[in-house]
């Protein structure tokens, strides 16, 4: 899979990383640290060394606030934490297994990534709507997401998704023609999945390791075929966001750390609004609840 760099750290995060050694030394009594080898103890930097970064921090926040206001958001989106150095262990959600799932080493099917960070993951399916405003919005706001594409709706404009890829978006597999896979034979399922692998490799240079079955429906043959095509993960979703509402898998209708959120490439032909309208609904809710949006591939 393309190892595109996720857009997840602003100037503020970089500045804080730069300041960490300074902050660690501030306020310590040099006399409390005995000199080693006759060397003089280290002196804490003056407070003004930290103050010099304040204008940069204020300017970075003001710029993010201006972008959020321009796109009609109620709050400035939160910055996602850095990608974990040790990736969480991804397993199939209980009740989502097929016979012999573990023994056959089939791709895990999951709706939530194990993490204690208040982060959720946005995933967008199919590719029917190709709204330039959506690309601008996500680029300016620096919001990561993963696209699960089907060839029957993207073939009319492969270039749109090439622009998306150039912005660091992961392009993953959603089959050639979006069929109900459990109704097909193993061979036909394999053609749908491997065929889409071929399309993405030809058009975008890499074979994905992420696959989402259409409608979230699959059987043992689906996962066997996916594995044979090079698929390593089969993420589903825990919530779905539309222009006018959210739908939930869980009974309590609550977001959880690591939840995968689904939406679709849709516009006014299908919704009472545009993709930017949907993103506003998505970001306003997750930000109000203290969640940042992470890049799914960074946790796998």
- From first to last of its 300 residues, the chain has per-residue pLDDT tens of 444 434 334 434 444 444 333 333 333 333 333 444 444 444 444 555 556 667 887 888 889 999 999 999 999 999 999 999 999 999 999 999 999 999 999 999 999 999 999 999 999 999 999 999 999 999 999 999 999 999 999 999 999 999 999 999 999 999 999 999 999 999 999 999 999 999 999 999 999 999 999 999 999 999 999 999 999 999 999 999 999 999 999 999 999 999 999 999 999 999 999 999 999 999 999 999 999 999 999 999
Q: Which alpha helices (DSSP H) does the chain contain, by range?
A: 11-25, 47-51, 54-70, 132-141, 151-154, 158-166, 186-204, 220-228, 275-288
Q: Tokens in use for 21?
A: 């050694």
- What's the predicted TM-score (pTM) here? 0.82
- Looking at domain 79-299, its CATH superfamily turns out to be Glycoside hydrolase/deacetylase (3.20.20.370)
Angle between helices 158-166 and 132-141 (to 10 degrees): 10
Residues near 122 by beta carbon (within 8 Å), at least 6 away in sequence: 143, 144, 145, 146, 261, 263, 282, 293
State both tokens at 81. 């934490």
250 vs 258: CA distance, rounded Å: 14
3-state DSSP: the chain helix, strand, coil percent, rounded to 5?
40, 15, 45
């Amino acid at each position: 899979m393309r190892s595109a760099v996720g857009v997840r750290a602003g100037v503020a995060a970089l500045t804080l990383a730069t300041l960490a050694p300074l902050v660690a030394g501030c306020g310590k009594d040099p006399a409390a640290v005995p000199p080693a080898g006759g060397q003089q103890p280290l002196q804490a930097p003056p407070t003004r060394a930290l103050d010099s970064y304040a204008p940069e921090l204020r300017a970075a926040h003001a710029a993010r606030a201006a972008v959020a206001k321009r796109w009609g958001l109620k709050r400035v989106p939160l910055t996602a934490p850095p990608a974990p150095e040790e990736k969480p262990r991804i397993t199939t959600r209980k009740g989502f297994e097929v016979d012999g799932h573990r023994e056959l080493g089939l791709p895990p099917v999951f709706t939530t990534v194990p993490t204690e960070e208040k982060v959720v993951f946005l995933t967008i399916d199919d590719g029917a709507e190709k709204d330039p405003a959506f690309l601008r919005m996500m680029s300016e706001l620096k919001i990561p997401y993963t696209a699960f594409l089907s060839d029957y709706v993207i073939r009319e404009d492969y270039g749109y998704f090439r622009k998306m890829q150039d912005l660091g978006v992961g392009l993953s597999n959603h089959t050639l023609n979006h069929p109900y896979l459990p109704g097909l034979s193993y061979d036909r399922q394999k053609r749908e999945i491997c065929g889409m692998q071929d399309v993405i490799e030809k058009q975008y240079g890499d074979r994905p390791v992420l696959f989402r079955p259409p409608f979230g429906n699959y059987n043992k043959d689906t996962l066997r075929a996916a594995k044979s095509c090079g698929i390593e993960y089969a993420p589903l979703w825990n919530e779905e966001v539309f222009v006018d509402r959210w739908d939930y898998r869980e009974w309590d209708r609550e977001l959880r750390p690591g939840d995968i959120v689904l939406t679709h490439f849709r516009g006014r032909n299908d919704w009472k609004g545009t993709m930017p309208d949907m993103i506003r609904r998505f970001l306003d809710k997750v930000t109000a609840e203290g969640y940042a949006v992470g890049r799914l591939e960074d946790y796998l």
